Chain A
Amino acid sequence: MSALTPDPAHALSASGNLARRQLISRIFVSGTVLACGLAVVVLAILILYCAVNGASKLSFAFLFGGAPGIGPDIVGTAELALIAVLIALPIGVLTALALAEFASARLARAFQVALELMAGLPPVLLGVFVVILIVKHWHQSALAGGVAMALLEMPLIAATTLQALRSVPEPMRNGAEALGVARWRTIVGLVLPAVSGAILTATILATARAAGDAALVIFTAGPDFAASSVQIDPTQGIPNLAQHLFTLLDTGQAAAAWSAAFVLMVIILAANIAARVLLTRNNRKLGL
């Protein structure tokens, strides 16, 4: 408790006259308002610039057609996201279960550190790792890109699931235990359904982050090619939005880049908003 009680002599001793103190207070408080305004303005600039510059060139052919359209890129991003979720979701959830239900306190601490390290690794390093692990021995492919994305998603999904698992009321578990229900039935039938909303939210948020991160895919998912048709072979390189946008920028094709960025941004922001709405509803259902 002592740490919660800061030295009152520090700032609370009345110094100078009140008017000056209030002026200082007002200056700093308006500073926080300004900072907040700045953030909102920056967000508005980001969205408006992309919308104004990108939306005007959107057309059915651009959205769904092959090059110079981005139809194949959208399909490719969806496929990469699917591969990544198929890998990251089970491993992430199982890891969280291991941490919350099975591991001893010491092992749980080690898991926690490993999760935090993993979650903090920069995407570009994950990309490099997949290059050494897979691409060098094989070739660039949708599978390799999916693995890189899964490496980013896994700790995010695990961390959120873990948080949800820890908020499952203990009486729920005890009740099942008292009735002689087997542990696995408790977990599968009671605990997992209770946290399914959180898992879904975490998966959407993690996928949105991985799908928008070009550093994961530029080395792994294949040479960027202006694909004229949809490609879905997971063992081959695959066109995707993030990488396409990166290449457009690198080669100075600003006009096409705006439209691609607008599409990517709309997809990712929509996923984020959907995830948050879902989470709010889920929390209300659980009475949180």
Chain B
Amino acid sequence: MRRRALNRTDRRVNIALRVLCLGAGLLLFVALAAIVEQVIVGAGPAINRFGLGFLTRSSDWNPPAQGATTAESYGAPLYMYGTVVTSLLSLIFSTVLGVSIGLFLAIVAPRRVTLGGRWRVSPAGLIGPLVELLAAMPSVVLGLIGVLVILPFFHSTVDPVIHAVLGWIPIFAKTYTAGNSLFAASAVLTIMIVPIIAALSRDLFSAVPQELRDGAEALGATRWEMIRGVVLPVTRSGVTAACMLGLGRAVGEAIAVEQVVGGQNQGVIHASLFLGGNTLASMIAANDPATPVTKLEGASLYYLALILLVFVVVTILAARWIAGDFKAKFR
């Protein structure tokens, strides 16, 4: 094989760039491995103390007062329950809303609306970027809106109505005095993940070949039948993956949830969605692991972080797997 006509500097820089790039890429793996390893190590004392029983032992989160020697006891089920309930509830709301918005932007919205004969606007071109702006809203600001706008509104209007009509069902039973609840947290999470699902599913719906849609309509299908019969089945796995990505965000959101979820640590799982609760992420955010009361409390917080890590990784891998299925179909 003939040597390539490169001078020595070029050859050296080539190799240097290659090493630099692959090194940076390697850093990614190192960072991921370090995150997993460090969280496990950090949780060590709690793992030693409670073992897997941490996942099932219902308990208060009561770190002892400074200097006291009472036995400490921590457990995760309350927070796992909060995470599962809030994220699934918000997933249901935001799938319906997000997919609807995606359908509107990609299919339903008229291409162009003429206003007063001169102004022509495209609704999708106008609303699409607004939805993306909603996705960019910082979570502390959403938390603020949650506390100062959504909670009072829920407390005065939504909660009493739902309670009055459906109060005989346990999950709608009691309402909490300030409005902080798992339900309120789900509402705030919904605002967070609707734009994610909407933007992703809009892109999917727009990619459905026009001929397929035209074919359906030519056969006499109504708009909705075309959507249900053609658009949704074709994009099903892609939309599911988008929802899983949204779910991943909901599971891990700490700040906005912490503000509105109520944070009641009575060690009891309430059936009612309208009572306060806590999620894994909000519990970590509310109890700064950098300055724990005792070592064991800090380790238990890391244990919660480890559980959260497992939840999130499973969601991401599931999303990837489903999306891969989608890509394979399209090829």
Contact = CB atoms under 8 A, between A and B. Distances in A.
Interface of A: 3-8, 10-12, 14, 21-22, 24-29, 31-36, 38-40, 42-43, 45-46, 49-50, 90-91, 94-95, 97-99, 101-103, 110-111, 113-118, 120-126, 128-129, 131-133, 135-136, 140, 151, 154-155, 158, 180, 182-185, 187-188, 205, 208-209, 211-215, 218-220, 242, 245-246, 249-250, 254, 257-258, 261, 264-265, 268-269, 272-273, 276
A129 B285 contact: no
B253 A122 contact: yes
Q: Chain A interface mostly helix, strand, loop or mixed?
A: helix
Contact of B32 (A26, A36, A117, A187): A117
A284 B211 CA distance: 28
Interface string B36-56: 001101100000000000000
A133 B38 contact: yes
A132 B209 CA distance: 50
Contacts of A28: 224, 227
Given A49-B145, A249-B259, A94 B21 contact: yes
B252 interface: yes
Contacts of B39: 125, 128-129, 132
**Nearest 10 Cβ contacts at the A-B interface:** A122-B252, A212-B138, A11-B229, A94-B24, A35-B100, A25-B224, A25-B222, A98-B25, A182-B10, A124-B254
B223 interface: yes
A80 to B, nearest CB: 14
Nearest to A35: B100
B80 interface: no
Given A32-B108, A268-B137, A273-B133, 11 more contacts: A14-B220, A29-B224, A98-B24, A114-B32, A118-B31, A122-B251, A131-B290, A182-B6, A182-B10, A209-B136, A220-B290
Interface of B is mostly: helix
Most chain B CB within 10 A, of A29, A32, A34, A155, is at A32
B138 A268 contact: yes
B221 interface: yes
Interface stretch (B11-19, B61-69, B113-121, B156-164): B11-19
Nearest to B38: A132
Contacts of B226: 11
Interface of B: 4-6, 10-11, 13-14, 16-18, 20-25, 27-29, 31-32, 34-35, 38-39, 41-42, 96-97, 100-101, 103-105, 108-109, 127, 129-134, 136-145, 147-149, 191, 194-195, 198, 209, 212, 216, 219-230, 233-234, 245, 248-249, 251-255, 259, 281, 284-285, 288-290, 301-302, 305, 308-309, 312-313, 315-317, 319-320, 329-330
A132 B302 contact: yes
A212 B192 CA distance: 13
Given A123-B254, A269-B136, A45 B284 contact: no
Given A28-B224, A50-B141, A129-B38, A122 B24 contact: no
A254 B216 CA distance: 54
Given A184-B14, A209-B136, A214-B140, A120 B245 contact: yes
Contacts of B142: 46
Contacts of A214: 139-140, 255
